[in-house]
Amino acid sequence: MLNSEHLKGIFPAITTPVQSDDTIDVNATQALFTWLTGQGVDGVVPLGGTGEYGALSRHERVRFVELCAKLADQRMPVISGVLDTGYHDAMTAAEDFAKAGADGLLVITPYYTNPTQMGIRDYFLRYADESPLPILIYEIPYRTRISIDPEVLHELSRHERIIGMKACNTDMYHYLRVMAGVDSSFAVLSGEDTLFPLQVAAGATGGIVVTANLLPKTWRKVFDLATAGKTSEALALHRQLIPLMSLAFSETNPGPMKSVMDLIGVNAPALLAPLRQPKEELRNALRAEYSKLLDMYEQVPANR
């Protein structure tokens, strides 16, 4: 059973390779797993925002989790996103993903209804009690418009089936307050590529990292430096990734990133509505920057 001890290291928030008919591209997904497992990631997180959860059909979501579980082959955990707005749909997803082979669930803060802090607490406590799998809380207030009070997270962290969280709140003081009171059995994972070394230095046990699709070994190096207390070296390496991150997030993720993944053998640039292909000048700039970093830091695929 997945627990917080397994939540250490680099967990790419993986893209969902799709074909022109909006169904899963099996071959491209296999290529993505070949790349990531060869680079030594610690787990994968399908069906988050990077995985275009809301744009996939329910059938294809389940199919993708099944494929990820098969390709992971118990070598690393598969933690599936659950981004539904309502409790019952979110629980149905939990049951479906458990049957499909997921090891854990990344459950987003309930949004649109504008719940109170006690409503958020009650939601996660009930979900954890009824979920077939352990859960991580997904706090991303710049998408949901809902921030969870640190004191609520402290309480939730003591539930035995709430094993961690993806921290995407860019308010570092909020993050430090969270870290000051969560239970020792609760793993906080950085959810922000842009703040990753600072969040690790302040106690994160790893990260759910978007651009780790592209540079898994480099992100592992940043993590290793930060956890070893070599914060200045971690920040120096992270600084080299800033141009890539600025380009990758300059239009809605995962559009820019998908447009260059053929450089690692994953040729599936198609996006799901309402996302559109990034502008040509952005694709070209990102391709040039990514090619440079691949040559500098990664084991480049032979077929590149």
| pLDDT tens string 55-83 | 999 999 999 999 999 999 999 999 999 99
Burial zone of 48 (CB within 10 Å; 0-12 exposed, 13-18 middle, 19+ buried) = buried
CA distances from 40 to 76, 172, 218, 295, 299 (A): 10, 29, 11, 18, 11
In sequence order, which residues have a C-beta less than 8 Å from that of residue 211 and are 6 or more positions away? 193, 219, 241, 244, 245, 248, 257
In the predicted structure, residue 301 carries a pLDDT above the cut 70: no
Q: With cut-offs at 50, 70 and 90, classify the pLDDT of residue 44.
A: very high
> Does residue 302 surpass a pLDDT of 70?
no
Q: What is the pLDDT of residues 135-165, one digit of tens each?
A: 999 999 999 999 999 999 999 999 999 999 9
Q: Known catalytic residues? A: 138, 166
**pTM of the predicted model, to two decimals?**
0.97
Mean pLDDT of 93-117: 97
What does the pLDDT look like over 236-263, one tens digit per residue? 999 999 999 999 999 999 999 999 999 9
Kindly write down the DSSP assignment for every residue of 202-236, as one continuous string. TT--EEEESGGGT-HHHHHHHHHHHHTT-HHHHHH
* E strand or H helix at 198: helix 196-201
Burial class (CB in 10 A: 0-12, 13-18, 19+), 111: middle
Measuring CA to CA, how many Å separate 277 from each of 55, 101, 183, 210, 257?
A: 15, 32, 43, 18, 10
Does residue 294 sit in helix, strand or coil?
helix
pLDDT at 190: 98
Q: What percent of the chain has pLDDT over 90?
A: 97
Give the amino acid at 301.
Answer: P
C-beta of residue 189 within 8 angstroms of C-beta of residue 164: yes
Local confidence band at 298 (pLDDT 50, 70, 90 cut-offs):
confident
In this prediction, residues 27-40 reach a mean pLDDT of 97
pLDDT value at 233 more than 70: yes
Average pLDDT, the chain: 97
Which residues have a Cβ under 8 Å from the Cβ of 104 and sit 6 or more positions away? Answer: 2, 77, 78, 79, 80, 133, 134, 135, 136, 163
CB 165 within 8 A of CB 136: yes
In this structure, whether the domain defined by 4-216 belongs to CATH 3.40.250.10 is answered with no
Computed on alpha carbons and rounded to an integer, the radius of gyration of the chain in Å comes to 18
Q: Residue 158: CA atoms inside 13 Å, Cβ hemisphere, count? A: 7
Stretch 187-212: mean pLDDT, rounded?
Answer: 98
Q: What are phi and psi of 135, to 5 degrees?
A: -125, 155
> Which two tokens mark 280?
């040509």
- Least confident window among 222-226, 229-233, 300-304: 300-304
- pLDDT for 303: 54
Is it the case that residue 37 has pLDDT exceeding 90? yes
Token pair 């690393």 in the structure block, residue: 76
